[in-house]
């Protein structure tokens, strides 16, 4: 390894990051002052971060700069003042602070919700209804060099047998979501099939997800291992010791207090 001096700011960062990481992990033991400290710091930093981000990316980049540029270039054009509209709507939301006129904020809500609903309708129909129907509807047989054949290979997702299973799955789960039909008789069979499909899929998705959650832990542990090195001043072992000792101290103090009472 070539000698590489790590900048002080990075070493300091490593200590801060390691400390915060261990504070948050202490929550796995139980709620304690270290976790509370970490939690409140985290919430505070995230709010501050959002404020700064919104200030620069929204107010500055989308509102102030286009207005300034527009007024400098085409002061007479109506289009120049277009960013004023959302600004006014935004101000209407702030009428929430004044109960007498707070109804004005509804105009802004109407604008947001109306836009969201309108945009959603055709796109949802296209990608989530028509496209999904289109993909479920497939011929069960294929035309090959030997004439018509139906595939029974489970390993190939496009085979005829899988097409049927998929169709049964989609239809039975959809049936389970019928609300105005009683689930009895043949309806019961369909709905039960639907439930089994749901449960198998949920189990599979759960099992599939375990890996990505473990990946996150691996990622954090990898950082902790890195910061345990001499070049970072043994941040991890030192802070781990500090965390454990303070937890033990806190626990002892709490017990003594409990004993006195």
Partner 1 sequence: MIFLKRQLPLAITFVMGVAFALQYYIPHPVSEAAITKVSDWMKIISGFALVLGIASVFHVHAVKIRRQAPGWGYSGVLFAAIVTTMAVGFWSGGESKADGSQTAFGWLYDYTMVPLQGTMFSILAFFIASAAYRAFRARSPEASVLLVSAVVVMMGRVPLGQTLLPGMQISIGQFLFKIPGAWDITQWLMNVLNSAVRRAILIGVSMGSVALSLKIILGKERSYLGGGKDQ
Partner 2 sequence: MKGLLKDLARRMIAIDRRIIFLLIACATLLPLLNPFGLPIKVSPEVQAVYEYIEAMPERSVFLLSFDFDPSSKPELEPQAVALLRHAFRKNLRVIVMTHWITGTGLADGVVTQVAAETGKTRGKDYVFLGWAPGGYALIISMGQDLYKAFPSDYSKTPTLGMPVLEGVRNLRDVNYMVSLAAGGAGIEMWYVFGKDKYRFEMAGGATGVIAPGLYPFLRSGQINGLIGGLQGAAEYETLIGRKGMAVAGMDAQSATHFVIIVLVVLCNVFYFALRGDKGKRV
Partner 3 sequence: MILALPFFFLLLIGGPAFAGPPTSPEGFRVLDTPNDAGQSLSLVWKASPSDSKDRTVQAWAAESPPAAFKKVAEFPSNTRYVRTGDFPWWAQPAGKGDHYLKLPSSQAFPITDGKPYAVKLLIREGEQEAWSEAAEGVSAPNYFNTAQVNNLVFVLAFTGVLLGSIAAARRNPHVYLRRIAGLDAVEEAIGRSTEMGRPILYLTGSGGMSDVSTIAATVILGQVAKKVAHYETTLKVPHRDPIVMAVCREIVKEAYVEAGRPDAFKEDTNFFITDDQFSYTAAVDGIMLREKPAANFFMGSYFAESLLLTETGASTGAIQIAGTDSDHQLPFFVTTCDYTLIGEELYAASAYLSREPVLVGTLRGQDFSKAFIMGVMVIGTALATAGVMFQTDAFNYFLDLFRDFK
Binding site for partner 3 (CB under 8 A): 24, 27, 30-31, 35-36, 38-39, 42-43, 45-47, 49-50, 93, 96, 105, 109, 112-113, 115-117, 120-122, 125-127, 129-131, 133-134, 136-143, 146-150, 152, 163, 167, 170-171, 174-175, 177-183, 198, 202-203, 205-206, 209
The single-letter DSSP state of residue 103 is G
- Could you tell me the smallest distance in angstroms from the CB atom of residue 123 to partner 1? 6
Give the residue, chosen from 82, 85, 127, 181, that forms a contact with partner 2 under the rule CB under 8 A. 127
Kindly tell me which of 91 and 218 has the beta carbon lying closer to partner 2: 218
DSSP, res 148: E
Tokens found for residue 92: 């209407």
What phi and psi, each to the nearest 5 degrees, are found at residue 97? -75, -15
Q: Cα(149)–Cα(160) distance, rounded to whole angstroms?
A: 9
Our finding on whether 210 is near partner 2 (CB under 8 A) is: yes
| Residue 142 binds which of partner 3, partner 2, partner 1, none (CB < 5-8 A, kind-dependent) | partner 3
Q: How large is the C-alpha radius of gyration of the chain?
A: 30
Distances (CA, A) of 38 to 32, 117, 142, 150, 224: 10, 39, 61, 60, 17
Neighbour-count burial of 166, counting CB atoms closer than 10 A to its CB (0-12 exposed, 13-18 middle, 19+ buried): middle
Pick 1 or 177: Cβ nearer partner 1: 177
Tokens matching residue 125:
């129909």
Q: Which is nearer to partner 3, 77 or 132 (CB)?
A: 132
* Cα gap 156→160, rounded to integer Å: 9
Query: Considering beta carbons, is residue 1 or 137 the nearer one to partner 1?
Result: 137
- Residue from 208, 257, 260, 261 binding partner 2 (CB under 8 A): 208
Give alpha helix (H) positions in 138-234.
160-176, 186-227
Residues 39-98 that bind partner 2 (CB under 8 A): 53, 57, 61-62
Binding site for partner 2 (CB under 8 A): 28-29, 53, 57, 61-62, 123, 126-127, 131-132, 134-135, 157-158, 204-205, 208-222, 225
């Amino acid at each position: 390894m070539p000698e590489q001096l790590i900048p002080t700011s990075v070493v300091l960062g490593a200590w801060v990051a390691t400390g915060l990481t261990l504070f948050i992990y202490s929550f796995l033991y139980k709620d304690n002052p270290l976790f509370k400290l970490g939690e409140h710091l985290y919430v505070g930093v995230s709010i501050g971060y959002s404020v700064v981000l919104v200030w620069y990316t929204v107010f500055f980049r989308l509102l102030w700069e286009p207005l300034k540029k527009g007024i400098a270039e085409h002061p007479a054009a109506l289009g120049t003042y277009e960013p004023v509209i959302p600004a006014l709507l935004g101000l209407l939301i702030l009428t929430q602070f004044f109960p007498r006129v707070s109804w004005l904020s509804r105009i802004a809500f109407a604008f947001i919700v109306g836009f969201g609903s309108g945009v959603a309708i055709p796109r949802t129909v296209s990608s989530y209804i028509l496209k999904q129907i289109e993909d479920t509807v497939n011929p069960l047989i294929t035309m090959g060099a030997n004439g018509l054949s139906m595939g029974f290979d489970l390993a190939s997702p496009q085979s005829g047998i899988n097409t049927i299973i998929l169709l049964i799955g989609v239809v039975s789960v959809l049936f389970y979501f019928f609300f105005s039909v009683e689930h009895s008789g043949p309806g019961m069979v369909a709905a039960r099939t639907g439930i089994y499909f749901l449960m198998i899929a949920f189990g599979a998705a759960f099992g599939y997800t375990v890996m990505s959650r473990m990946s996150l832990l691996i990622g954090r542990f990898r950082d902790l291992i890195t910061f345990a090195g001499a070049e970072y001043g043994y941040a991890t072992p030192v802070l781990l010791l500090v965390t454990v000792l303070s937890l033990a101290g806190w626990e002892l103090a709490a017990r003594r207090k409990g004993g006195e009472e």
